[in-house]
Amino acid sequence: MPASVLEIDYAQPEGFRPLSLDLRMPTAAEAPLVVFFHGGGFLRGSRRVFTPGIAAETSFDRIVAAGFAVASCEYRLSGEAGFPAQLDDADAAIGWLGEHAAEYGYDASRIVLWGVSAGATIAALTGLRRDDVRGVVDWFGPTELFEMAKHPTGEPADATREARWLGAPAASVPDLARLASPALQVRPDAPPFHIAHGTDDVHVPISQSELLAGALERAGAPVELRRVPGGRHFWQGVADTAPLFADALAFVRRVTA
């Protein structure tokens, strides 16, 4: 049975549209909370879509059925505001969720961030700059923008997804690009990470996840990296994503226990 969805405005950045989240609750009270950020290259996407090609019933509802509350949060896109506005939005969402935990009945002291693609970059950066996050699930997110800029896309350097987000190619704004690169923001006391990435992803190469996993390992931070043979971006080419969800949910259960 599909989980009911509460649509909630969580913030109103000055000069911008209201930002909303969709909250889904399990039957059990005081459930841990998964805070989700959608993909779309920082320039498109919807909080209502976990990832293209995967229905809500087999994504959001699957997480709820496993006993977790889920808040799927939108954020300002790159055509509205550049980096680091999206991190401000993530912080605002987590702040709102913390303030309203008693009202809705989830446990805001047990938060895991989960993102896909660009949303994974936002989740990773947010997890690395906060001390109240139990873990991060990163599915095929860009993690090192200088290396991403070398990845051939057929677009001019100033027209890539990441350049639009930063406002310029990474090499032109190195300080900003460094701050927007999770692999370059790792700290020894980082929260645990579960990273999954398809080996045949041509949009965000798997080397991006390997760079982040390597940085976490060198820092002594807990990390697990799952390489998915034949997987492309948004899990295209993967016939059954249930095992991928099972692995991620096992991680969420472990870090929120």
Residue-wise pLDDT for 217-242, tens only, equals 999 999 999 999 999 999 999 999 99
Q: Tell me the CATH number at 126.
A: 3.40.50.1820
Mean pLDDT of all residues belonging to the chain = 97
- The whole-angstrom separation of Cα 251 and Cα 119 is 18
pLDDT level of residue 153 (50, 70, 90 thresholds)? confident
Segments forming the whole domain that contains residue 246: 6-256
Considering its fold, how many domains does the chain have in total?
A: 1
What's the chain's Rg over C-alpha atoms?
17
Residue-wise pLDDT for 156-215, tens only, equals 888 999 999 999 999 999 999 999 999 999 999 999 999 999 999 999 999 999 999 999
Domain presence at residue 227: yes
- pLDDT(1) > 70: no
Domain presence at residue 128: yes
The percent of residues above 90 in pLDDT, for the chain, comes to: 96
Domain presence at residue 211: yes
